[in-house]
Structure 1
Amino acid sequence: MNSFVHKTLVVQLLAPGTGRCPVLVHLGYDADDPFAVTAVFAHDGHVLASWRLDREMLSAGLSGPVGVGDVRLRPAGTGPWQELRMEFLGDARPGGGRHHAVVLVWAPAIAAFLLETHQVVPPGQERVPVDELLAEILSTG
């Protein structure tokens, strides 16, 4: 069985003054890191940002608001136009405040991606090889 899931989606970056701007997001899941989903945002061949997201939080964001830190997710829209609103707070700006990005993605596409990840590692079946990691660390010391 494949231990990787990858999906590329067109999402909408909310840009102040210009409305929605289409960008790509490359979503990745690796069974070796079963709690995380990577999201790499790109436009015109350039990486705009890369984030590691909690898989459970991504799933919960489809049905209600989650997140209090640098990543906040919540459903937006209804019916076939239901979207997942993803807010990202980045590094501090030189003049004060922080970089802030809002991305909207079609919620059924995220749900389908998560379903594929659940086929690789079902929720509640995640395993982190802590014993093996500790043995490796201690053997090199």
Structure 2
Amino acid sequence: MKEKGKKFISEFKDFAMKGNVLDLAVGVIIGGAFNKIVSSLVKDIIMPPIGLLTGGVNFQDLTYTLKEAVPGVSDAIVISYGLFIQNVVDFIIIALSVFIFIKIINKLNKKKQEESKPQEDKKTREEELLTEIRDILKNNKQ
């Protein structure tokens, strides 16, 4: 039984210390920080001008009350659709940012792969003609 436990722990340790898992952990941490930046961008920079264009509407205040609060008995039931709109804008900006980032990475990887490919010997037109002449002369001698 102890042998199985040691093997399990060893396998888990190997799994957890693989490069992909560590890369994923770093990605999640950076993604969390990126999410805060994008949320601030949307809330503090993008939404105020949009609110101004829509007549000073603050999207966080956009709600629909399903049931009014009864003092001492129940809370109000409210749908905060303004926050939903703000979260949709957050998502669109994050998705666009990730898309652009992936496009740039793919473009860089493509250039790197093209540079690492061995260059074929590209013969000039003159070299091709000389090779053909050589081959014709060789065949005529036989």
**Same fold by TM (over 0.5)?**
no
Q: Which has the greater radius of gyration?
A: 2
Q: Tell me: higher relative CO, structure 1 or 2? Use CA pairs within 8 A at least 6 residues apart.
A: 1
**TMscore range, shorter length:** under 0.3
Q: What is the TM-score when the length of structure 2 is the normalising length?
A: 0.19
Structure number with the higher helix fraction is 2
Q: Which has the higher strand share?
A: 1
